[in-house]
Amino acid sequence: MFRYFPYLCGVKSDVQIEKISKALSDASRIAILQQLRTRDCLYCQEVYDFLDLTQPSISHHLKLLVDAGLLIPIKEGRNLKYKLNEPVLNDYIASLNGLKG
């Protein structure tokens, strides 16, 4: 599909690649995603345990991941948990595969 509409690929797709790449270009945020590799969901609180950052910083990183679409936030009372948004990650991977012509 990308093959036949390279102009579309070069517009919508680039924005996605850029935004998601930016979300992935930080060690703390990758660490968050790594945690979700073995767990189905991750509580905001738990992130404090493995990231040596203050609460506002962690909130900031989680926001970037959510804004990029990589994480789905789920509110549970006054807590917040996150799930990996696999379709978005898959789309990103597909876009990267599209770079291979």
Is residue 42 a contact partner of residue 81, using CB atoms and an 8 Å limit? yes
CB of 67 to DNA, least distance (A): 10
Kindly tell me the burial class for residue 92, based on how many C-beta atoms sit within 10 Å of its own C-beta (0-12, 13-18, 19 or more): buried
Q: Can you give the C-alpha Rg of the chain in angstroms?
A: 15
77/101 with CB nearer its own copies: 101
The CB-of-69 to its own copies minimum distance in angstroms stands at 14
The partner residues of 42 in beta bridges, in order of sequence, read 82
**53 binds DNA, rule: CB under 7 A:** yes
Which residues between 81 and 100 bind DNA (CB under 7 A)? 81
What are the start-end ranges of the H helices in 1-54?
6-8, 14-24, 27-38, 44-50
73 interacts with its own copies by CB under 8 A: no
CB of 41 to DNA, least distance (A): 11
Instruction: Single out the residue of 5, 8, 11, 22 in contact with DNA (rule: CB under 7 A).
Output: 22
Under the binding rule (CB under 7 A), the answer on residue 28 touching DNA is: yes
